[in-house]
């Protein structure tokens, strides 16, 4: 059974770059699309973007200028970088696998990132 | 961008009730509609994908249907563990988008 686990700092200062990694276990990162989603406290879900194992990416235009998603197949990991963060970027960040079909069938447990000085 | 509108935003029901949650897309999304259940402090859990396909391991009391741009999640007989927030999500075109959620509470 594939499992995903987010890791990274829980506190980031305003204007700095948020960096998170998702480690995939129980299966290969190859052959699939992998996504990042976030959820500000008490609100709904926002799709950030996805990456194919080969490295091709698609981002949400609302975040595109600040987002980079990358993949490291040798480590079975993919990563998120979000630059120039503000308090509005405070959220629980989830990683997920896009399957079956184009749904998000496998999720990490999520990690809360707070943007504060 | 495709907007997803869920109704109702909250719903009170009792164990054993039949419950229906609706999601409307702002344009055609074919059958690229997914339903998730989220409990407090937990990640969303996929229930239904491609409008009507039941995800492996999900109880058969959950079902999904579609009519044009309107999609429905039905729980045939509510169980205590079903009280949660439900989200629809379109995967027809990026940026993928979610409905605002329906909070299902105990009556």
Please check whether residue A41 touches B, CB under 8 A.
Answer: no
Q: Under an 8 A CB cutoff, do B89 and A45 touch?
A: yes
pLDDT value at position B38?
Answer: 98
List the B70-75 sheet strands across, edge first: B4-7, B19-25, B70-75, B62-67
Given its phi and psi angles, is residue A4 left (phi above 0), alpha (psi -120 to 50 degrees) or beta? beta
For residue B107, pLDDT over 90 is answered with: no
Q: Taking a C-beta distance cutoff of 8 angstroms, is the pair B63, B46 a contact? A: no
pLDDT value at position A104?
Answer: 98
Q: Taking a C-beta distance cutoff of 8 angstroms, is the pair A17, A113 a contact? A: no
Residue with tokens 């999900």, as numbered in its chain: B58
Give which of A52, A33, A34 is closest to A108, Cα–Cα. Answer: A34
CB pairs under 8 A between A and B: 62
Tell me the pLDDT of chain A (117 aa) as tens digits: 999 999 999 999 999 999 999 999 999 999 999 999 999 999 999 999 999 999 999 999 999 999 999 999 999 999 999 999 999 999 999 999 999 999 999 999 999 999 999
DSSP three-state, residue B81? helix
DSSP three-state, residue A87? helix
Residue B98: its chain A contacts at CB < 8 A?
A: 44-47
DSSP three-state, residue B37? strand
pLDDT in tens, B17-72: 999 999 999 999 999 999 999 999 999 999 999 999 999 999 999 999 999 999 99
pLDDT in tens, B60-90: 999 999 999 999 999 999 999 999 999 999 9
| Measured distance CA(B89)–CA(A87) in Å, rounded | 26
Please check whether residue A46 touches B, CB under 8 A.
Answer: yes
| Measured distance CA(B103)–CA(B21) in Å, rounded | 10
């Amino acid at each position: 059974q594939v499992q995903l686990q987010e890791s990274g700092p829980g506190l980031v200062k305003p204007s700095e770059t948020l960096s998170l990694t998702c480690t995939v276990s129980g299966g290969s990162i190859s052959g699939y699309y992998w996504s990042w989603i976030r959820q500000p406290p008490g609100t709904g879900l926002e799709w950030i973007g996805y990456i194919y194992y080969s490295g091709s990416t698609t981002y949400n235009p609302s975040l595109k200028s600040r987002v980079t998603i990358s993949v490291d197949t040798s480590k079975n990991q993919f990563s998120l970088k979000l630059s120039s963060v503000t308090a509005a970027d405070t959220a629980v960040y989830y990683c997920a696998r896009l399957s079956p079909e184009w749904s998000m069938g496998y999720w990490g447990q999520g990690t809360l990132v707070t943007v504060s000085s | 961008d495709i907007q997803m509108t869920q109704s109702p935003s909250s719903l009170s029901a009792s164990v054993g009730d039949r419950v229906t949650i609706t999601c409307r897309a702002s344009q055609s999304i074919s059958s690229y509609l997914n339903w998730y259940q989220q409990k407090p402090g937990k990640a969303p859990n996929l229930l239904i994908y491609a409008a009507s396909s039941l995800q492996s391991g999900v109880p058969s009391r959950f079902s999904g249907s579609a009519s044009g741009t309107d999609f429905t999640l039905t729980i045939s007989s509510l169980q205590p563990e079903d009280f949660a927030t439900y989200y629809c999500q379109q995967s027809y075109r990026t940026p993928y988008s979610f409905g605002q959620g329906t909070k299902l509470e105990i009556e």
